[in-house]
A = this chain, B = another copy of it.
Amino acid sequence: MGERLVDTVRRFNRTVTQRVGALDDGYLTRDRPLAQARLLWEVGPAGAEIAALRTRLGLDAGHLSRLLRTLEGDGLITVNSAPGDGRVRVAQLTSAGRAEWDVLDRLSDELAWSILEPLSDSQRTRLAAAMTEVERLLMASLVELRDCHPGEPAARACLRAYTRELAQRFEDGFDPGVGDDDLVPPTGLFLVATLSGEPVGCGGLRLVPGEPAEIKRVWVSPSVRGLGLGRRIVRELERRAADAGADLVRLDTNDSLTEAIQLYRSSGYHEIPAYNDNPYARHWFAKPLIKDDASGR
């Protein structure tokens, strides 16, 4: 039965991904090299930082620079230094570039419509629903979890979002207090989850030798909630804690974070007495770590 599922995924990858992908490229290319067309599209009406384009398109810095130069030469974009930081450069569409982008936008609409057009109404609705489902579930697989210094931009973005959200949800606001710069080896660690470059979640671990490990700053972007990312982050943090020699992991949380409490309970955590005086904490949880070097499944 696992075999059947794998076959389904493989067939899907082959047929849908390659064929529709090729179709998409063909439509959007407009007798311009594919990389240029994609780049022009990604710059978009709002403009974009070059670093962002690089991660989104997965291009080499040199290659990207050259592509930008070509588009600039064709009068489709301008590249200027960012106002804040002179090293950062920002690409903007010129009016000619905008016109071209609009054409791509229209073609993209037409392609989408050409897919829907031969279908009956009910088929169209079913297709859209199935596409949304596939997309959401694939997201979960494409999220990458990696170690990240809390000071890195991706981490800071997550922590800002985390703080903003808690401030909104807690009755009496939220002040994160001191920074999270201690969440680096050897006294801790910080994980950031990214979806094609964009940070979509995070989690920290504080490690004090001889004491239980502590999970902190677990946050998942609303855009990917309900896909099990929180559970995945917590599981990874537990694994790291075990690797570091901890045999217990604990954390504090607040009543208003109902999904989090639900997650911890269903992940094997049980409530314990307060182990700190965090003014925002209302519940304290702990989970014993069982060491196993042979990971099952």
Contacts and interface: CB of A to CB of B under 8 A. Distances in A.
A20 interface: yes
A12 interface: yes
A228 B16 contact: no
A170 to B, nearest CB: 30
Q: Considering residues A4, A16, A109, which has the most beta carbons from chain B within 10 angstroms of its beta carbon?
A: A16
Interface in A72-127: 108-109, 111-120, 123-127
A208 interface: no
B13 A17 contact: no
A116 B5 contact: yes
A232 interface: yes
Nearest to A20: B17
A52 interface: no
A148 to B, nearest CB: 19
A202 to B, nearest CB: 17
Interface stretch (A62-70, A134-142, A212-220, A256-264): A134-142
Contact of A12 (B11, B18, B125, B135): B135
Given A5-B116, A119-B140, A140-B118, A135 B228 contact: no
A196 interface: yes
B140 A109 contact: no
A6 interface: yes
A194 to B, nearest CB: 13
A124 B3 CA distance: 12
A46 interface: no
Contacts of A119: 137, 140-141, 228
Contacts of A130: 130-131, 133-134, 137
B13 A24 contact: yes
A226 B51 CA distance: 47
B134 A131 contact: yes
Given A113-B6, A118-B140, A123 B13 contact: no
Contacts of A4: 128
A210 B228 CA distance: 68
Nearest to A14: B24
B124 A140 contact: no
A225 to B, nearest CB: 14
A54 B107 CA distance: 27
B108 A10 contact: yes
Given A133-B130, A134-B134, A228-B123, A115 B20 contact: no
Contacts of A131: 8-9, 11-12, 16, 130, 134
Given A2-B116, A9-B116, A127-B134, 17 more contacts: A5-B128, A9-B112, A9-B113, A9-B127, A10-B112, A13-B20, A13-B108, A13-B111, A20-B142, A115-B141, A118-B140, A118-B141, A126-B137, A127-B137, A127-B138, A131-B134, A134-B134
